């Protein structure tokens, strides 16, 4: 069984011990991704949110053919206490109702893989789960981080692949000059 892993942020440039072949392909499903999740270290990270425009994603093959092991590897990489925020679909699953999962399922049908996993953490702003910051709030938030936190936030934004073009990213580029430094894959 071949399993893919979809990525759009730090999984690509900092996979750690994630069980992937690290050959990130640029033809992942187009998904609604935006910088909407505040992390413990102050970064605003990219998450799926169906209220935003579609952008490019990437995918890599897992180096395990065991779905529970693949999910556990991604859970561990994302430092999630449970596997609940890890999305998973199999090629033979029925077409899901959810629009994002429907897109992923359709994409999966076009690939020579049996299943796919991805990080399915949602928006969170200032510790409020589900809270979607406006672009103005995001800019204000980033402007008021400590120097160390701002360096981490800038690194995350700039190292996200350039093809992961989002509304907020363009505003960060204008306001802070945080242009992509990760090569376009």
pLDDT of residue 127: 86
Is 67 buried (19+), middle (13-18) or exposed (0-12) by CB count in 10 A?
middle
Is 152 buried (19+), middle (13-18) or exposed (0-12) by CB count in 10 A?
middle
Q: How far apart are alpha carbons 65 and 87 in whole angstroms?
A: 16
Please state the rounded mean pLDDT for residues 166-172.
97
Structural domain contains residue 184: no
Domain that holds residue 158: 3-175
State pLDDT tens for residues 25-41.
Answer: 999 999 999 999 999 89
Structural domain contains residue 40: yes
Structural domain contains residue 113: yes
Structural domain contains residue 144: yes
Structural domain contains residue 66: yes
Structural domain contains residue 181: no
Structural domain contains residue 53: yes
Q: Please give the tally of structural domains in the chain.
A: 1
State pLDDT tens for residues 38-62.
Answer: 998 999 999 999 999 999 999 999 9
């Amino acid at each position: 069984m071949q399993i893919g892993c979809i990525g759009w942020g730090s999984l690509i440039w900092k996979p750690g011990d994630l069980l992937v072949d690290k050959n990130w392909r640029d033809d992942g499903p187009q998904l609604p991704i935006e910088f909407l999740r505040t992390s413990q270290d102050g970064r605003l990270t990219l998450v799926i949110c169906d209220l935003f425009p579609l952008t490019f994603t990437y995918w890599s093959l897992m180096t395990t053919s065991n779905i529970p092991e693949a999910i556990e590897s991604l859970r561990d990489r994302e430092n999630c206490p449970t596997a609940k925020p890890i999305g998973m679909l199999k090629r033979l699953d029925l077409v899901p109702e959810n629009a994002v999962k429907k897109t992923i399922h359709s994409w999966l049908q076009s690939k020579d893989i049996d299943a796919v996993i991805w990080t399915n953490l949602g928006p969170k702003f200032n510790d409020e789960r589900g809270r979607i910051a406006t672009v103005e709030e995001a800019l204000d938030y980033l402007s008021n981080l400590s120097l160390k936190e701002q360096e981490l936030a800038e690194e995350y934004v700039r190292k996200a692949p350039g093809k992961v073009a989002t509304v907020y990213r363009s505003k960060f580029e204008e306001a802070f000059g945080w242009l992509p430094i990760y090569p376009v894959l």
